[in-house]
Structure 1
Amino acid sequence: MDTTTNTRLRAAIGGHFLVDLYSPILPIILPALITNLNLSYLMAGIIVTVFNVTSSIIQPVSGLYSDRTKRSVSIPVCVLFSCLGISLAVLTSNYYIMLALVSGAAIGTALFHPAAMDSVYRLSPPHKRGFYNSIFTTSGSLSYSISPFIAGILITYFGLSSITWFAIPGIIGAAWIYGIEKRSPAITESISSKSESKPIVERKQFWWASAGLVVVLCSLRAWAYIGIITYLPTLLILGHYGMDTVTTSLIVTIMLLTGVGGQVAGGMLSDRFGRKRMLILGFVCAIPFFGMIFLTQGWAMYVGIFMYAFFASFCYVTSVTMVQELLPGSVGFASGLTLGLCMGMGGIGAAIIGWAADLMGSLPHAMFLLIIPTILCPILAVFIKYPEEKPISV
């Protein structure tokens, strides 16, 4: 790759790291918000739902616009929206102002992902598309993983309002990326177009149906995964475990870091052994570990948390790449569906679980209901019509 290409990729990867630094703060601050603002589980879940639904509505539209006009939004602006929206939300005691600020952060996230994913897709050699997608997603997943632990330390030792300090890396990073954009012209020709004479996946008349089914699977996966991430801190802090914020945030961070490993493994193995095979494998392996989270205690429970995150994330990059390859002329739209719409459905699921917890009077019992979408995923994945390419030696 030439210098300009590498520079643009660094901007996309750096932007993803910064944008995804902020949304995982929400589950960590939920226990404090529930206590300070006397929120119900439903109202707490709605905060996460507003973020995900706002993002889910805007991302596909933004991706479609990018596909049709070949114009992309400014990454620094997206980073600023994301960092300021979340960082300032903790300063208000007004629930509705908080929702508005969270929505602003969601807009920044929504505008960023489709354009950045389209850039990475165009610059990636087709036989290593899963690998490069995993590198891009890993950059965001790393910040997504370490953010809860940093937030937990800040809240424990400096109070909830100290979360505003999180705006500092976002502001500095936005200025750095702005300098890169000014110095480096946009890429107009993709590596993919130079290196492939035909799509790696031959699209037939079932392509839209197959892409739609993968999106459904992404939504079910997101429902379970986001539900666990959203309420696990509350379960560990306010539930019968009685853990402190730092310990809980460390558990969440290790969980998310394990998920990063799953993303990298899923992307690389799907390149080698086929997308559909690895998708089914990941979904099947996630089921027993999900059960261990709620049916065991001690180290077995921790193994369940971490390994569930690994296999749920194992499927993530694979499913994103599958939709992109099934919709090669609409990569931004495809990315908006998998990164936006699916996450929005997961956010709605989080609110439903909060409502169920209020109704049942038990957060653990309500969370265990998430095993239903977890079991449905591998069953539905079998019916995806997806022509597997032969592994390519490099």
Structure 2
Amino acid sequence: MKLLKELHCVHEGINITATVSKKLLGAITGHFLIDLYTPVLPIILPFLISTMGLSYFLAGLIVTAFNVVSSVTQPFVGLYSDKTGWRASVPMCVSIGSLGICLTTFTSNYLLLLMLVMGAAVGHALFHPSAMDLVYRLSPPAKRGMYNSIFTTSGSISYSIGPFIAGSLIEFAGLPSVVWMVIPGILGAAWIYRNDLRYMDEKVFEKQAKTVINQSVDRKKFWLTPAGLVVIICSLRAWAYVGLITYLPALLTLEYQEFDTVTTSLIVTIMLFFGVGGQIAGGYFSDRFGRKLMLVLGLLCAVPLFALIFLADGWLMYFGIMMYSFFACFCYVTSVTMTQELLPGNVAFASGLILGLCMGVGGIGAAVIGWAADMMGSLSDALFLLIIPTILCPILALFVRYPERN
């Protein structure tokens, strides 16, 4: 009888592990798919500026609409998830996100374009807090930075290849061909849905998740002020990073007039892949050497590299673009994990703040930079103003009170 009980426990443990693994796989796959579509917007902006006669401000407002809707919604979704345990359907989020972005190329009506973009933003807002909460709950505290890196990297890889796919389609088949990008989103959503149906042992999963939470929550570590400071730092970082990504294609194709759409999208893709490398490195080293140290180091290294983009030419400028992306993303995963650990028991809310609110500030900043470019008559001069929030980030990071966990 004892042997049978032991075998039953082993079998039950295997079932729990399989269920958790499949749900993590669904979250990671969903993140890869849903983030494939966000960077499509900067690639199509130059065409919208030309064909619809948009100013830089109105073009930037498209990105702002996406980020603001996502940012406003995500923290509330996170709070609701923390209180009730509800999680958004990954297949539904992926479907909404992919359809909303891909259908934008079929309209010449600016208001309808904004509505489609905001609809896609709702899908993103529902997905990210729930998925990151799942990953956090199932991650060992000592390797939380690494597991967050795996999750965020899955989205960052697709975020990196999205511009090149969209740029290639536009170059060879025209702007409406971007709609074909909806295929991986719909097929992937169907696969995730089928996968969830096969592993629907929610009772086992919930038990496992709560155990992890109870072990990790330490109410004495609830430091609201430091968490708020990290959010401010991430918002300033997002302002510079989102602004550069948003307008880099327009800068290279319209103002510098040096490259075609495919080449420009390839440059953006390589830049974003450097960001992926930064995320992986940041998550690993934050586990090993401390989160605050890596946060300050990454933000500090980003300052001269950002300046290099606008003060140098040729290969040195491209070196600045790539390495700025690396270090701007180096501290991204670290900041997410820090906020989660500073707000224990409110992980989905913390994730919604960093992935939502901060990116929303970045989106608003994109519209501000577009307005500045219209006023100054130079997109490159307006973008260089982003050196100000870039410099503020490492200074503020020095004042974050953070309890390093050994």
Instruction: Structure 2 unaligned segments of length 5 or more: list them.
Output: 1-15
How far has the Cα of 1:242 moved from its partner?
2.3
2:150, 2:315 → 1: CA distance?
Answer: 30
How far has the Cα of 1:389 moved from its partner?
1.9
Letter in 2 for 1:189: K
Q: Which residue of 1 aligns with 2:46?
A: 31
Question: Does 2:56 align with 1:41?
Answer: yes
Q: Which residue of 2 aligns with 1:339?
A: 355
Contact 2:157 2:273 survives alignment (8 Å): yes
2:279, 2:214 → 1: CA distance?
Answer: 25
2:218, 2:173 → 1: CA distance?
Answer: 52
Deviations 1:152-171 (A, max 9, x none): 10000000000100111110
Deviations 1:100-157 (A, max 9, x none): 0000100000000000000000011111000000000000000000010011100000
Q: Which residue of 2 aligns with 1:61?
A: 76
The structure with more helix, counted as a fraction of residues = 2
Q: Which residue of 1 aligns with 2:211?
A: 193
Q: Which residue of 2 aligns with 1:156?
A: 171
1:336, 1:253 → 2: CA distance?
Answer: 26
Contact 1:123 1:192 survives alignment (8 Å): no
Higher gyration radius (CA): 2
Letter in 1 for 2:337: T
Deviations 1:354-388 (A, max 9, x none): 00000000100000000000000000000101011
2:212, 2:361 → 1: CA distance?
Answer: 37
How far has the Cα of 1:23 moved from its partner?
0.6
Instruction: Structure 1 unaligned segments of length 5 or more: list them.
Output: none
SS in 2 for 1:90: helix
* Of 260-269 and 241-250, the range deviating more from structure 2: 241-250
Structure 2-normalised TM-score?
A: 0.93
Find 2:277's aligned residue among 258, 261, 278: 261
Find 2:225's aligned residue among 206, 209, 212: 209
Structure 1-normalised TM-score?
A: 0.96
Contact 2:213 2:345 survives alignment (8 Å): no
* Of 66-75 and 234-243, the range deviating more from structure 2: 234-243
Contact 2:104 2:117 survives alignment (8 Å): yes
How far has the Cα of 1:13 moved from its partner?
0.2
Find 1:360's aligned residue among 346, 362, 376: 376
Deviations 1:52-72 (A, max 9, x none): 000001000101110011011
How far has the Cα of 1:180 moved from its partner?
1.3
Contact 1:126 1:196 survives alignment (8 Å): no
Question: Does 2:381 align with 1:370?
Answer: no
Question: Does 2:254 align with 1:229?
Answer: no
Give the direction of change, closer, same or farther, for the CA distance of 1:138–1:160 in structure 2 (3 Å limit).
Answer: same
- Aligned residues, how many? 388
Give the direction of change, closer, same or farther, for the CA distance of 1:192–1:301 in structure 2 (3 Å limit).
Answer: farther
How far has the Cα of 1:224 moved from its partner?
0.3
Find 1:104's aligned residue among 109, 113, 119: 119
Letter in 2 for 1:214: V
How far has the Cα of 1:195 moved from its partner?
9.5
Contact 2:141 2:216 survives alignment (8 Å): no
1:339, 1:364 → 2: CA distance?
Answer: 27
Q: Which residue of 1 aligns with 2:105?
A: 90
Find 1:289's aligned residue among 283, 301, 305: 305
Deviations 1:333-374 (A, max 9, x none): 000000000000000000000000000001000000000000
Contact 1:124 1:191 survives alignment (8 Å): no
2:215, 2:119 → 1: CA distance?
Answer: 41
1:269, 1:200 → 2: CA distance?
Answer: 24
* Of 339-348 and 186-195, the range deviating more from structure 2: 186-195
2:56, 2:297 → 1: CA distance?
Answer: 33
Q: Which residue of 1 aligns with 2:236?
A: 220
RMSD of the TM alignment (CA)? 1.4
1:243, 1:295 → 2: CA distance?
Answer: 19
SS in 2 for 1:301: helix
How far has the Cα of 1:190 moved from its partner?
3.7
Find 1:300's aligned residue among 301, 316, 331: 316
